[in-house]
Amino acid sequence: MVTSDANLKTVAGYLGDASYADGQKLVAALATVKPVVYQLNDSIAEKGADKARFHVGYLAQDIEAAITKAGLDPARFGMWTKTALFTVTENKDGTLKQTATVDTSGNQQYIQMLRYE
């Protein structure tokens, strides 16, 4: 649940306020990240590059890098997430098996996301 209700929050500080050092670092870090214009790969595959819509936003990897460069842990901020990918298959007996999704080198694959709200 994402809420704006003050009764459900403990305020750590205000972005840019001198009394909240991490907030100042975060604002400065995010100001270095440029928005991009992009097409979703699935849409390109389905519709073709000439018909897939363009979107405007940020790349999660750019946000992660900027926050890390500022000396902060991106995982401490709810705006950025990194989740391990898994493949679920059904066994012959009907039970499910979860297997890590890995690249050609055997490294765990992840998806990064931004929460714009």
70: Cα separation from own chain's centroid: 17
SS3 of 32, please? Answer: coil
pTM: 0.81
Residue 72, domain extent: 15-114
Q: Is residue 6 in some structural domain?
A: no
| C-beta of residue 2 within 8 angstroms of C-beta of residue 117 | yes
Q: Decide if pLDDT at 13 tops 70.
A: yes
Average pLDDT, the chain: 93
pLDDT of residue 37: 98
- pLDDT, mean of residues 66-90: 95
Task: Specify if 5 maps to a domain.
Answer: no
- Phi/psi of residue 18, nearest 5 degrees: -60, -25
- Domain membership of residue 44 (yes or no) is yes
pLDDT of the residue at 19: 87
Q: How many CA atoms lie within 13 A of 97 on its CB side?
A: 8
Residue 1 has pLDDT above 70, yes or no: no
Q: How many structural domains does the chain have? A: 1
Which CATH number characterizes residue 108's domain? 1.10.10.10
Residue 107 lies in a domain: yes
- Residue 116 pLDDT grade (very low, low, confident, very high; cuts 50, 70, 90): confident
